[in-house]
Structure formats: structure tokens, C-alpha cells
Amino acid sequence: MNKAKITGIGHYVPEKVVTNADLEKVMDTSNEWIVERTGIHERRFFNPETDTVANMSAKACRMALDRAGLQTSDVDFIVFATITPDYFFPGSGVLLQRELGLEGIGALDLRNACSGFIYGLSVADQFIKTGMYKTILVVGAEIQSSAMEMNTRGRGVSVIFGDGAGAVVLQAAEGNSTPGVLSTHLHADGRFAEELYIKDPGSSRRPEERLSQETIESASIRAHMNGNTVFKHAIQRFQEVIHEALDHNGLTKDEIDLLIPHQANLRISRYLQQQLEMPDDKVYNNIMRYGNTTAASIPIAMSEAWAEGRIREGTLLCVAAFGSGFTWASSLIRF
């Protein structure tokens, strides 16, 4: 059976930097509150004139392919994770495919929110293991800023999220001893679906309610989150799913060279680090600069960690995520 190896990692973030001071101008919040509760100093917001989920992800994919020494024509499948697609349908996978000039190859869309990238990695890993595809782009990309309510009513959510895209190239490598994805672990608990969600325009509403003035004013087209509940579940599930991955592979936490948690909140990452008794240099965080970019957060962090030399040949990387659904997931990857 083939093993799937990550041969390239790339990312793209929009140019526009939005600081906490910028948010203070449009809502009742403060730099102190945001930094203390989330660790975020700034985030990137897309430019509606130039940035789309599809073209941001194309930039991330081109960087990943360049770093892998590959051409776009080498790609034979796309797995695209986003909860903020450019259109209600079709999904952004086909738009990325068009941007890359890859007409004809399959493009699969996933909507698993913050866990979307790891779900996507898992799907791509299975396709490669079975020999169905040889070179897959796994993408996480989001434009969250246009879903946020940029006023005091929306401040509990809107100060956290940001925009960006990340991608990896996953390729078939012969043999079991080669580097590659060791395992992926996926979970969900739909009982908590409404703890972090955007309700409208949902299809189970009558047509006239889908995007009525009332719907818009009630903010049901904006992200809603019960932050405290999400936080409590996150810190428990992150730990569980990391231990599940370690146990599955007969490894210990001390053997992890780098942990990249989904960048949800710096307090969550720090708590996790403390529970796992890991030193600072083994945990990668960039939420300070980008906020929470949902499905894009792990591949953006992987791309930056790789560029900084923190992911090298031999590195044992652990990625883990928790978010809307609830969904949670982890993977151990040997480089």
C-alpha cells in the first residue's frame, strides 16, 4: 500500500492588516480585552476587489507546488476545505481547479469548519493509500471577515476571525518506512451544532425567509458562538484526540517535534501545551498575527513553520483541531 507524503506546503494571506485598534473604532472593545482573552494582535481581511477564496487558495497551492518542485499539471485531485465558499454552490474546489487550469480532474469540497483541513488530509490520505490518486492538493481557505458582524453586538465573535489560505501537496511514496502521514483521527458530535454556526440562508427555511430583511437584521446570517461552551469542549477534545493519535502509533508526547494546534485562541493552545508539558519551541502559534482562520489556520501555520526551518526532514509533526459541529481531529505526520 502507498504512503502519503507531504512534499510541499504554501499559504497566502490578504495584504490588509486589521489591528485591534482598528476594531476599537467600530465596536465597544479594547486591545487589552482581545489580547488577554484571545492572544490576537491583528488579522488579515480580504480586499473585495481582488481576493476570493478560490484565488487566495490558488496562490497558496502555487507556493506549495513550487516548494515541491512540481507543475500544476502534476496534480490529479483537489480536496478543498472551507465554510466560506465564494458561492452558495458550486463549492470552491471547482473554482480553484479553474484558477489552476486543471479542467477535468476531480474536486471535492468539505465543510468541517476548523477541523476541515485535517478531515481533508484524511480523505486525501485514503485516496493515495489505495492508489486512486498520486498527487493531491489539500486546501483550507476562508474569507471569514464578510460573515462577521462588525459592531458591538457581534464583538464576541468578530474580533477572533480572519482571512487566509493554506495548502499542502500530498504525494504517493512507496514503502512503509518512508516519511508520510502516519494516521488521521476524525470525530464529530452534532448535538452541539448550534453552539457555533451560521443559521441562514438555510434551506430548511421557507424561501421568503431565507434572506428576508428580518433574517438579515436578526443577524442569523452572521456567525453565532457560545464561546464559553466551545472553549470548554475544545480544551478536552484537543487533548483526547492528540493522545488517540499517539496511542495509535505507539508514540509518546515527548516524541512530538512540533505541535500545531488549530489557531482558535492562544489561551487554548497554551493550556494544551501546559497539559502536554511541552516546551515553547515545540508548539507553533501564529494566531497573534492572523486570528482564527478556521480551515486555513493549520496549513498557514505549517507553511510558516516550514519556511522558518521548524519542519525539516525527520520532524514528527502533530496537528489537531476542534471547532463547529462540533468536530475535532488530529494527525501525526513524519517528514
Residues that bind ligand UT7 (CB under 6 A): 29, 33, 37-38, 114, 155-156, 159-160, 227-228, 230-231, 234, 264-265, 268, 292, 323
Which residue is at the shortest CB distance from ligand UT7? 227
The smaller minimum CB distance to ligand UT7, of residues 8 and 116, is found at: 116
Rounded to 5 degrees, what angle do the CA atoms 76, 328, 246 make?
85
- Say how far residue 71 (Cα) sits from the centre of its chain: 24
Least Å distance between CB 230 and ligand UT7? 4
Task: Name the β-bridge partners of 187.
Answer: 328
Tell the smallest beta-carbon distance from residue 309 to ligand UT7 (Å).
Answer: 27
Minimum CB distance to ligand UT7, residue 176 (Å): 34
- Catalytic residue list contains 114: yes
- The distance of closest approach from Cβ of residue 53 to ligand UT7 in the complex, given in angstroms and rounded to an integer, is 17
Residue 14 vs 323, nearer CB to ligand UT7: 323
Helix (H), strand (E) counts: the chain: 12, 13
Closer residue to ligand UT7 in complex, CB, 136/298: 298
Other beta carbons less than 10 A from residue 61's beta carbon: 31
Tell me which of 262, 265, 286, 318 is the catalytic residue: 262
Smallest separation (angstroms) from ligand UT7 to the CB of 137: 23
Q: Which is nearer to ligand UT7, 26 or 211 (CB)?
A: 26
User: Helices marked H in the chain — which ranges?
Assistant: 20-24, 31-38, 53-68, 92-99, 116-129, 155-158, 207-210, 213-217, 227-249, 266-275, 287-290, 297-307
Residue 47 burial (CB count, 10 A): 11
176 belongs to the catalytic site: no
Torsion of CA 231, 235, 237, 240, to 10 degrees: 180
Q: For residue 187, indicate whether it is catalytic.
A: no
Closer CB to ligand UT7, 6 or 268, in the complex: 268
Cα separation, 137 vs 70, whole angstroms: 12
> Which residue among the candidates 41, 61, 114, 286 is catalytic per the annotation?
114
Catalytic residues: 114, 262, 292
